[in-house]
Chains A and B, each alone.
Chain A
Amino acid sequence: MSERLKINLCGVEFNNPVIAASGTFGYGLEFSRFTDLNKIGGISVKGISLKETYGNKMPRIAETASGMLNAIGLQNIGAEKFISEKLPFLKKYDTRIIVNFWGKTIEEYTETAAILDKADIDMLEMNISCPNVKEGGIAFSSCPEMTEEIVKAVRKVVVHKPLIVKLSPNITDIRLFAAACEKCGADAVSVINTLLGMAIDVETMKPKIANITGGLSGPAIKPVAVRMVHEVKKTVRIPIIGMGGIAFWEDAAEFFLAGASAVQVGTANFRDPDSCVKISEGLDAYLERKTINNISELTGKAVLY
């Protein structure tokens, strides 16, 4: 992979800045038949909790215009099982491992974080923004004070690994939340999680997903996400991992220009399991064409009016 794409994110070396987003890439192995995991900069695994979680009722997904709604409900096998059953497989690949995690209480967050901090992984990504589980941490996104409280508590137990906080777009002003994260010691922020949405089948007259509302993802949300990355960039100095509707390299380039230091690709993996690899290749060609030596030089370089 090209030198142009190598980045150092919070002290962790990435072969390229394209990361598979949590919840869309399972534990990595699901996609290994259909794409080369060695060519993906990093993988943020499905949100892990202290104990195994079974998730929401079916139906859980619905396609929408240029996007989709999901309310999976943070189904996962739990921290210990992840480390013993899934992690050894992922370690075989030359990709950085980011473990997304969540909890219902501060204690669950800190306990899970403490376990993961000792595991053979590269970074932790704290999810305080799942819109589909009432107790899935969304309360910690409800006001900046709550965000401060959870980041402080988790920062105390995460001492070996960089701590990323994944922010919710379902708030009035994302800058306040990003600032709260920076103030309490987060190393980076992921911007953004899904937007709360809803769709109804007009024939059956039922909501298309059993949870009634779900998280909207895919290209439909990209302009919202780019705007939020831009706002956060103007507010904090810690790096931003940009995401929300990236399907092609041009989308990823937009996020870098808006202020991202790395990007995550989510829903596009469903559309094409090779999306992350193609986006990296596209970015590399773009940098070469623009005679930019390294992708990090693109961060925040949007030319404003």
Chain B
Amino acid sequence: MNAQIISNAPVGTKFGYMELKCPEIASEKNAGRFFMVSVRSDEKSIDPILKRPFAICDIKSPDTFSFLYMIVGRGTSLLAKCRQGEYLGVTGPLGNYFKLEKNASVALAAGGIGIAPMIMTAKKLRGQGCRVTLFYGGRSASDIIMRDTLENICDELVPVTEDGSLGIKGLVTAPIKERISEFRKVYACGPNRMLMAVNDICSEAGTDIEVSLDEHMACGVGACLGCLVAVKEKTGTVMKRCCVEGPVFNGAKIDWPALCRG
């Protein structure tokens, strides 16, 4: 399946935001799902060989959706060079999704590029009568992107930077811990260590938490068995495919030390 690039623009120095025309993915109703995309428009390109998984960020129209990416390696650098009008191979929508509360006060916790699935999630939650507080952490002000959009789709945006250049100084976990009693549920996406810390806070407070994980994937459809996550079940630890049984998991069930070791 191919999707035409409607727009592809840098966001700050480290990120990019792409809008793709693809009715199959744009018809998605749930928040938190992802898709796989090739990073070059050349149909015969074999390097890099694999598509990359990205969260569906926002549905823009019945035909178009958008995603956010952080430029971290060769694949995402190539993606940043793709031009409007070109076609990229896509597979999706894939994976499961957040189970959204109704008429409740909820928190979204995003670290870095973990903001990507939160835009659609915040919109859906507010559509269901939730009060949404978004805690958004990064190293410095330049990591906190799309603030105007975020302020419009949340009831409260709480930026947190490690160097204090924007919002609260420190780690995103500090204000979450302070205010955890306000929320019925937390939805989190970010680096594994941050997710583990947010999960600890929720577990102590008895608050439900769903986390969206980001694992390396080859196929994205459950065939290659390359993206397994250790999940604690009654019968013991079970390996679940991040691409099919995830990317959203009940935070309380993740074997966090195993996940953070990798």
Task: Please list the residues of chain A having a beta carbon within 8 angstroms of any beta carbon in chain B.
Answer: 23-26, 30-31, 33-34, 46, 54-55, 58-63, 65-68, 70, 72, 75, 210, 218-219, 247-248, 267, 269-274
Contact = CB atoms under 8 A, between A and B. Distances in A.
Nearest to A208: B216
A60 B221 contact: no
B72 to A, nearest CB: 12
Interface in B204-220: 216-220
17 contacts: A23-B224, A31-B223, A33-B221, A46-B223, A54-B239, A55-B225, A58-B228, A59-B216, A59-B226, A61-B217, A61-B218, A61-B226, A62-B216, A68-B50, A70-B226, A267-B218, A273-B219
A253 to B, nearest CB: 15
Contacts of A67: 49
Contacts of B46: 66, 218-219, 247, 271
B223 A30 contact: yes
A262 B51 CA distance: 27
Nearest to A62: B216
B10 interface: no
Interface of B: 1, 38, 44, 46-51, 89, 91, 216-228, 239, 244, 262
Across the A-B interface, the 9 shortest Cβ-Cβ residue pairs: A26-B223, A61-B226, A30-B223, A219-B46, A30-B222, A270-B218, A270-B219, A66-B47, A30-B221
B81 to A, nearest CB: 18
Contact of B223 (A65, A68, A219, A269): A269
B157 to A, nearest CB: 33
Contacts of B218: 61, 68, 70, 267, 270
A63 B75 CA distance: 10
Contacts of B221: 26, 30-31, 33-34, 273
Nearest to A76: B225
A270 B243 CA distance: 13
Given A219-B47, A271-B89, 14 more contacts: A25-B223, A33-B221, A34-B91, A61-B217, A63-B48, A66-B47, A72-B225, A75-B225, A247-B46, A247-B49, A267-B49, A269-B219, A270-B218, A273-B91
B61 to A, nearest CB: 23
A247 B227 CA distance: 23
Contact of A271 (B38, B217, B227): B38
Contacts of A68: 49-50, 218
A273 B244 CA distance: 16
Contacts of B38: 271
B49 A63 contact: yes
Nearest to B36: A270
A219 B48 CA distance: 10
B34 to A, nearest CB: 14
B90 to A, nearest CB: 10
A239 to B, nearest CB: 26
Residue in B44, B46, B47, B50 whose Cβ sees the most chain A Cβ within 10 Å: B46
A197 B115 CA distance: 36
Nearest to A273: B91
A283 B111 CA distance: 48
A34 B25 CA distance: 12
A54 B237 CA distance: 11
Contacts of B49: 63, 66-68, 218-219, 247, 267, 270-271
